[in-house]
A and B are shown apart, each in its own frame.
Chain A
Amino acid sequence: MYAYNQYDQALVDQRVDQYRDQTRRYLAGEIPEDEFRILRLMNGLYIQRLAPMLRVAIPYGLMKSEQLRTMAEISRVYDKGYGHFTTRQNMQFNWPTLESVPDILADLAKVQMHAIQTSGACIRNTTTDPFAGVSADEIEDTRPWCELIRQWSSLHPEFAYLPRKFKIAVSGSASDRAASQVHDVGLHLYRNDAGEVGFEVLVGGGLGRTPVIGKTVKKFLEPQELLSYLEAVLRVYNLNGRRDNKYKARIKILVNALGVDTFGEMVEAEWEQLKGGELRLPWSEIDRVKGFFTGPDYLAVEHAQNDLADAFAQHPQFATWYRQNTRDHKQDGYRIVVVALKNQLQAPGDVSHQQMDGMAALADEFSFGELRSTHDQNLVLADVAQRDLLALWSKLQDIDLARANVGTLTDMINCPGLDFCSLANAETLVLSRQINETFDDMDYQYDIGDIQLKISGCINACGHHHVGHIGVLGVEKGGKQVYQFTLGGSANEDASLGKTLGRSIEQDQVVVVIGQILDVYVELRQTDETFLQLVRRVGFAPFKERVYGTHQRSAA
């Protein structure tokens, strides 16, 4: 993975000093509250319901084992011994004190990490496919491009006070595992008819109270002009995005108001002035960055592979885990291992300090010392030799991370909700607990198959409920927490927004309703039909009938 040079290191070190001074002046009463709010947000520090929350950047989800160990240590020293992986591949600490943040940042800087631009109205961490560089279906590795975007966007002087936050996601294979169609800018690396690799640029996707699927603004962008084009998009947005209403300030509102064609013309006009200029990336620089992502020294297939038939026979649970939690690797003899952070006892995405240390050790032992975080709040060991899988699986059991539920109902996305978030309307973590208790039969989950359940505690949609196959949104009605269901959403290559099923459901009925929805699926599915396919085929009527049937009849 990318390693800092003297420039990167100087930037984060100086940034720590700068933030330390800002914190000192704030505590001394020299910076007004409003001003400091913006400054601390640009450094990932929120003030939540109970305590501050610090969000640490994990650029495009890639970590070294020593970085994860440092985060474990930070959670012990400054927090309550755990951390939380977010849907944008970052790490959150829920209990640091405001005064300790400069020290945390200094510890992070020692292992080439920071919290720069993890919140605030600026360009956020760029996210990507957690299988970048290793998946069998990849067109081109997205990581070098993410790194180039990271550098360009870091402390960009012009775009620190945008109308609103700005998120970029990059996908480089036919399967979109980066939710790129629901980002402010989505970039798709692909090969055009002439055989050249370049970017399709989508703009104006997003969730929140106005969910929108991104629209294509440029069909093919020559890769050397990636940064000049992004700069043009950001400049048009910075000058024209609405600033009078924070709910209308995202780029999606601007794109919708102007129409994507007009917006695209404005970008082209600005880009005319930029392309071919200083922002044009020389191949020497592209190749230098690509040089950091050449892949590890894989063993020859005859050494990496062994016959797993015996192991499967002896350990049926291992066989299940292999089927459910590992994926094809482009390198023969290797597997991609997804480690689900979705056990019965912890909130989705939460990891204890022991688990962080444990995962760091397993990365060192089995996956070249690297890990990745994923959009669906799991971890990935990307390069595991097949012969090591059994040993890895048994060691994952020691740290409660061997649950074989990737892609199933309990592999849900869940925002922190009312337990932590000051914007929440409703609790969400109680739902994941109830769901785990009610649907604890793994064979049932396997029978249901691929399903994405996504839960948000308010309309800001951090839990991405609009793009869940089943989405659950917490709302407040008459002082009560109730939940709205949506069905049929997807964040993948077939992206779509879910539609509301009907009126809201009381908290203790949520698992009942999920059960009813799944019953309808089991009764109506055809051979090999997934839940999402079924919803798209049969529509909402049978689900409505099951969930609201009696009430609707009596109302009619």
Chain B
Amino acid sequence: MALIKDQQLSLEHAATPELRFADWLSDGSNNADAVLANGDDDLPSLFTNASKLSMIALEFDTFADGRGFSMARMLRRAGFQGEIRAVGDVAMDRIDFMQRVGFNAFELRDDQDVTQVLSKFGEVTVHFQPSADGNGPAYMA
């Protein structure tokens, strides 16, 4: 399994956490700083606790579940500067959108061609809305 981080193939990186955010939260003594979360989690507490974490892996159970897009966006808005890793159904055709909303790491399936996936960043360069990547809408340029 390959990981793309900050638009490059990452050779050394932390493993995807198995600890779920809900378990991390209920176990007050837990000092792990990486969790796995998805749209079923208690989002307000994820956002308020994010500063205690260094990595949040957001799961995409299915291709159609778009909640992770809003979660990443809101985590960045809450000031989270750690790694937001997309895991699960991370197809190359949405990696550009994922990066725009705040993901900076992507766990690929073994059958995914890393070079081809990397070529999908910036496939559409024009943006009409502000997003977590700091690029404002084109008309404000």
Of the residues B96, B139, B141, contact of A157 by C-beta under 8 Å: B96
Bound CA–CA A17/B125 (angstroms): 12
A365 part of interface (Cβ distance < 8 Å): no
Bound CA–CA A162/B136 (angstroms): 22
Contact B93 A22, beta carbon cutoff 8 Å = yes
Q: Give a binary string over A251-287; 1 marks a CB under 8 Å from any B CB, 0 the rest.
A: 0000000000000000000000100011100000100
Binds A, one of B15-23, B27-35, B69-77: B69-77
Contact B126 A160, beta carbon cutoff 8 Å = no
Contact A158 B70, beta carbon cutoff 8 Å = yes
Bound CA–CA A157/B43 (angstroms): 20
CB distance from B74 to the nearest CB of A (A): 8
A193 part of interface (Cβ distance < 8 Å): no
Given contacts A14-B125, A15-B124, A160-B97, contact A7 B139 (CB under 8 A): yes
Bound CA–CA A157/B100 (angstroms): 7
Bound CA–CA A273/B74 (angstroms): 10
A492 part of interface (Cβ distance < 8 Å): no
Number of interface residues of A (CB under 8 A): 39
Of the residues B71, B97, B126, contact of A7 by C-beta under 8 Å: B126
Q: Give a binary string over B97-140; 1 marks a CB under 8 Å from any A CB, 0 the rest.
A: 11011000000000000000000000111111111000011111
Number of interface residues of B (CB under 8 A): 36
Q: Give a binary string over A165-196; 1 marks a CB under 8 Å from any B CB, 0 the rest.
A: 00000000000000000000000000000000
Bound CA–CA A238/B74 (angstroms): 12
Of the residues A22, A157, A273, A288, contact of B77 by C-beta under 8 Å: A273
CB distance from A112 to the nearest CB of B (A): 14
Bound CA–CA A31/B91 (angstroms): 9
Q: Report A-chain residues with C-beta under 8 Å of the C-beta of B140.
A: 285
Q: Give a binary string over A231-247; 1 marks a CB under 8 Å from any B CB, 0 the rest.
A: 10001001100010000
Q: Report B-chain residues with C-beta under 8 Å of the C-beta of A288.
A: 139
Q: Give a binary string over B62-84; 1 marks a CB under 8 Å from any A CB, 0 the rest.
A: 01111101110110010000000
Q: Give a binary string over A134-164; 1 marks a CB under 8 Å from any B CB, 0 the rest.
A: 0000000000000000011011111111110
Binds B, one of A33-41, A301-309, A320-328, A354-362: A33-41
Bound CA–CA A231/B139 (angstroms): 18
Q: Report B-chain residues with C-beta under 8 Å of the C-beta of A300.
A: none
CB distance from A261 to the nearest CB of B (A): 20
Q: Give a binary string over A213-244; 1 marks a CB under 8 Å from any B CB, 0 the rest.
A: 00000000000000100010001001100010
Given contacts A18-B123, A22-B93, A157-B100, contact A278 B130 (CB under 8 A): yes
B88 part of interface (Cβ distance < 8 Å): no
Contact A151 B128, beta carbon cutoff 8 Å = yes
Given contacts A22-B93, A38-B63, A279-B130, contact A158 B123 (CB under 8 A): no
Contact A157 B66, beta carbon cutoff 8 Å = no
CB distance from B121 to the nearest CB of A (A): 12
Contact A162 B128, beta carbon cutoff 8 Å = no
Q: Give a binary string over A1-39; 1 marks a CB under 8 Å from any B CB, 0 the rest.
A: 000000110110011011000100000000100110011
Bound CA–CA A243/B128 (angstroms): 27
Bound CA–CA A156/B74 (angstroms): 15
Of the residues A15, A35, A161, contact of B66 by C-beta under 8 Å: A161
Q: Report A-chain residues with C-beta under 8 Å of the C-beta of B65.
A: 161, 243
Q: Report A-chain residues with C-beta under 8 Å of the C-beta of B93.
A: 22, 31, 35, 39
Give the dominant DSSP class at A's interface: helix
Of the residues A17, A38, A157, A285, contact of B69 by C-beta under 8 Å: A157
Of the residues B100, B126, B131, B136, contact of A14 by C-beta under 8 Å: B126
A121 part of interface (Cβ distance < 8 Å): yes
Q: Report B-chain residues with C-beta under 8 Å of the C-beta of A158.
A: 66, 69-70, 73, 97, 101, 131
Q: Report B-chain residues with C-beta under 8 Å of the C-beta of A239.
A: 39, 43, 67, 70-71
Contact A161 B69, beta carbon cutoff 8 Å = yes
Contact B66 A14, beta carbon cutoff 8 Å = no
Q: Which residue of A lies closest to B44 (CB)?
A: A269
Q: Report B-chain residues with C-beta under 8 Å of the C-beta of A163.
A: 66
B94 part of interface (Cβ distance < 8 Å): yes
Contact A157 B101, beta carbon cutoff 8 Å = yes
Given contacts A7-B139, A151-B139, A235-B70, contact A121 B128 (CB under 8 A): no
Q: Report B-chain residues with C-beta under 8 Å of the C-beta of A273.
A: 77
CB distance from B86 to the nearest CB of A (A): 12
Q: Report B-chain residues with C-beta under 8 Å of the C-beta of A285.
A: 139-140
Of the residues B64, B74, B98, contact of A121 by C-beta under 8 Å: B64
Bound CA–CA A160/B73 (angstroms): 14
CB distance from A267 to the nearest CB of B (A): 13
Q: Report A-chain residues with C-beta under 8 Å of the C-beta of B101.
A: 157-158
Q: Report B-chain residues with C-beta under 8 Å of the C-beta of A160.
A: 66, 69, 94, 97
Q: Which residue of A lies closest to B139 (CB)?
A: A285
Q: Which residue of B lies closest to A278 (CB)?
A: B130
Of the residues B94, B97, B100, B126, contact of A11 by C-beta under 8 Å: B126
Contact B63 A238, beta carbon cutoff 8 Å = no
Q: Which residues of chain B from 26 to 67 have any CB-CB distance to chain A below 8 Å in the complex?
A: 39, 43, 63-67
CB distance from A114 to the nearest CB of B (A): 12
Given contacts A35-B91, A160-B69, A238-B70, contact A155 B63 (CB under 8 A): no
Bound CA–CA A231/B130 (angstroms): 11
Q: Report B-chain residues with C-beta under 8 Å of the C-beta of A159.
A: 66, 69
Given contacts A160-B69, A239-B43, contact A151 B137 (CB under 8 A): yes
Bound CA–CA A549/B93 (angstroms): 59
**Contact sample, A vs B, 18 pairs, CB 8 Å cutoff:** A11-B128, A14-B123, A17-B123, A18-B123, A18-B124, A34-B63, A38-B63, A39-B93, A151-B139, A152-B129, A155-B128, A158-B69, A158-B70, A160-B69, A161-B63, A238-B67, A279-B129, A285-B139
Additional A-B contact list (10), CB under 8 Å, known A7-B139, A38-B63: A14-B125, A31-B93, A35-B63, A35-B93, A121-B64, A151-B137, A238-B67, A238-B70, A277-B130, A278-B130
